[in-house]
């Protein structure tokens, strides 16, 4: 009995886990999952809906692409995401009608003809507009080994 009380006290002393996401944070994460699925499936209809009209993408090489350029690259085959896995260290911050999501994952893809096969840290910036979250920009940064 004393051992159980001691165990209970020890568990109570552990720091709390991360707070549960708010409904708005969950909505951003759900839109991110739809984006990831669309990117893997080369679903340009869904990508066009998720990307804002003024969307920009920054590759691991530092190249910048507009929404129109990304859609054209998908259509031509110059962009092809073959794998994105091991998502972790995911953080979501919502402030009013803006949100930022960060995560690390392994990416195997071709962007504008340039091959990426590495672990990346990705930052996504979202905006609430027209009753939905749209991606304004995202940037990939290679994680140093």
Give the pLDDT confidence of 16-30 residue by residue, as tens digits.
556 788 999 999 999
- 105-130 pLDDT, tens per residue? 999 988 777 888 889 999 999 999 99
Whether 116 is in a domain gets the answer: yes
Beta bridge partners, 109, equal 81, 116
Whether 89 is in a domain gets the answer: yes
Whether 86 is in a domain gets the answer: yes
Specify the pairing of strand 51-58 against strand 132-142: parallel
Residue 89 · residue 62 · CB < 8 Å:
no
Domain region containing 98: 23-142
5 pLDDT higher than 90: no
Q: In terms of pLDDT, which residue wins out, 145 or 74?
A: 74
Q: How confident is the model at residue 44 (pLDDT cuts 50, 70, 90)?
A: very high
b/e code 88-116 from CB counts within 10 Å (16+ = b): eeeebebeeeebebebbbebebbbbeeeb
CATH code for the domain of 93: 3.10.450.50
Tokens of 10: 């020890």
Whether 51 is in a domain gets the answer: yes
Distance of alpha carbon 82 from alpha carbon 75, whole angstroms: 15
Biggest distance spanned by C-alpha atoms of the chain: 69
Whether 68 is in a domain gets the answer: yes
What is the mean pLDDT of the segment spanning 60-72? 93
Output the CA–CA distances (angstroms, integers) from residue 138 to 51, 120, 134, in the order listed.
Answer: 10, 12, 11
Whether 6 is in a domain gets the answer: no
Whether 16 is in a domain gets the answer: no
Distance of alpha carbon 128 from alpha carbon 114, whole angstroms: 31
Whether 4 is in a domain gets the answer: no
The tally of domains found in the chain comes to 1
Distance of alpha carbon 100 from alpha carbon 43, whole angstroms: 23
């Amino acid at each position: 009995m004393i051992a159980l009380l001691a165990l209970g006290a020890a568990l109570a002393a552990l720091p709390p886990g991360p707070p549960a996401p708010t409904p708005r944070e969950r909505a951003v994460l759900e839109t991110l999952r739809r984006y990831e699925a669309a990117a893997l499936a080369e679903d340009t209809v869904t990508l066009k809906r998720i990307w804002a009209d003024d969307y920009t993408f920054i590759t691991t090489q530092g190249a910048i692409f507009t929404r129109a350029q990304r859609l054209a690259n998908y259509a031509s085959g110059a962009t092809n995401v073959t794998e994105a896995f091991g998502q972790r260290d995911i953080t979501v911050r919502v402030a009013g009608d803006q949100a930022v999501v960060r995560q690390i994952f392994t990416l195997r893809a071709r962007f504008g003809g340039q091959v990426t096969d590495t672990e990346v840290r990705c930052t996504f910036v979202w905006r609430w507009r027209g009753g939905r979250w749209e991606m304004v920009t995202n940037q990939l940064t290679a994680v140093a080994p």
